[in-house]
Amino acid sequence: MKKVEAELVGDEKEQLSVYLESFETLRERQSKLNDIAHTLREKGPTPTDKYKSLVETDRLDAQFDLGAAALICGLSNVLTLSSAAGIRDFDITFKGLSITLGKHGIGHGGSFNGKTAQQLYDIIRRYHYDLIAGLCKKLAAVKEGDGTMLDNTVIVYLSDGAEGHHSRCWEWPMVVIGNIGGKLKTGRYLDFPGYGQKGHRTTAAMYTTLLQLAGSKRESFGTTDPVLKDLDQTGPLTELLA
């Protein structure tokens, strides 16, 4: 194939190069899977009915199991889990938590079974935290270097809708768990100044912080806010760094 690639020019050569790169990526992935097959059998989750369940809380629980296995077995160093985010799950109902009012209705202040929207959100968030605690426990059980995998991990829990159901995204609460090998200051509550005020930082700065903790040299993330032209939108959140 390399000989053929050398004989091609222009778009055909570029297209073949993309194909070859894809095949090489697949080969490397399969090789890695073969190398960790024993670990996958040992650390992977045991199939149960929840992996076929149509109940949203069961599906999320299964996703946490799969995500933990992917991290522990080395299939990935990054994990993103979503609980009813996006258009497709806009009106999901958390029947597994005995809530039959859809998420959209709760977002508009709807009550159910004597509970306010805030109380319903508290039930949902509590379930999320239980799943996160289970993930932390699994990572803490895996030795890594002089500590555990949890010692070298950071977990960020946040809403897909910022501060409200129809938000302006001027505030974006986050819970950060773990110090990623001592690189973050933990056990604190930080409240940055409001939008446009002196000392205000954007959500992009948080992502820049995570990128730099992972070894990237990037000083910014995404597109800068043109309205905040007098504020620094580069660099990490130094208040988080140890």
Q: What is the mean pLDDT of each run of 10 residues along the chain (242 residues)?
A: 69 79 80 72 82 92 94 89 78 92 91 96 96 97 93 93 83 93 92 90 93 91 88 91 92
Give me the helix-helix angle, 117-140 and 56-72, nearest 10°. Answer: 30
Question: What is the amino acid identity at position 201?
Answer: R
* Separation CA 136–CA 156 (nearest Å): 12
Q: pLDDT value at position 50?
A: 92
Neighbours of 154 (CB within 10 A): 19
CA 88 to chain centre: 18
Please give the pLDDT value at position 5: 67
Predicted pLDDT at 137? 96
Contact 149, 135 (CB under 8 A): no
pLDDT at res. 94: 93
Cβ count near 202 (within 10 Å):
23
**Residues contacting residue 96 through CB under 8 Å, at least 6 positions apart:** 55, 56, 57, 58
Pinpoint the alpha helices (H) of 109-202. Answer: 117-140
Question: Coil, helix or strand for 175?
Answer: strand
What is the predicted pLDDT for the residue at 160? 81
Pairing of strands 147-148, 155-158: unpaired
Say what the pTM is: 0.81
DSSP 109: T
Predicted confidence at residue 21, as pLDDT, reads 82
- H-only helix segments in the chain: 2-7, 10-35, 37-43, 56-72, 103-107, 117-140, 203-213
Q: Is the dihedral of CA 217, 223, 227, 229 positive or negative?
A: positive
DSSP letters spanning 46-83:
PP-GGGT---HHHHHHHHHHHHHHHHHTTS-S-----S
